[in-house]
Amino acid sequence: MYLVNGRYVLAVYKGTLSEFDLLLKYRQKDESRRSGWTNIRTPKHIHWAVDVLLKMHSNEEETKQFLDFLITAWNEHIKPLRTEEERMNLLNVETLLKEVNQEALKYESLADKGEYSIKFLILIARLLMIQEKTNMETAFMFKQLLDALRAGQDIFKIVSIATHR
C-alpha cells in the first residue's frame, strides 16, 4: 500500500487477467465524508487523461514535458512483470515512492493543478503502464493516449482512446 501526499492511499493487488496482472485500487481524502475518505476506486485511463487535460490547460509547456517524460518511460524503461521477484520488487513501497518523489520535483508547478497530485499521477501512470505491458506485451493503449495528449488531439479522440475496451 502506498500513501501519497497524505491525500491518497493506493493499494496494488494480484489481478486475474494474467499470471502477474496488477489490480489497482485507491481512496482519496474527502473531509466532507464521515469516514474522511472516498469509496474505494479503480483508477481508469479516462480519469488520468482528464486530469492531464486540466494540467495542460493550466501549463501547456510543462505538461508536454511531463508527457515526454512518460513517453520515454513507456518506450525505454517500463517492462512487463515476468517473475514473482519482479512483482515483489515493484511492490517495494520505499523504493518506488523515492523514485516517484524525485520525478515529481521536475513538475512542481503542476502539483496543485487538476484533481490529482503530480506524484499520484506519476505513480498511477507507471503502474498502469506496467499492468498493460504485463497483460499483453504488445499493448499500446496507454502509449496511444500519451501520444494523443502530447499532440493536442481533440477531446473526442482522447476520450475514445481512454475509454476503449
pLDDT tens for residues 79-100?
999 999 998 888 777 788 888 9
Q: SS3 for 15?
A: coil
Neighbours of 146 (CB within 10 A): 26
Mean pLDDT of the chain: 92
Domain boundaries, the chain: 43-162
**% residues pLDDT > 70 (the chain):** 99
> Does the pTM of the predicted model rise above 0.85?
yes
| Residue 97 pLDDT | 84
Indicate whether 72 pLDDT > 90: yes
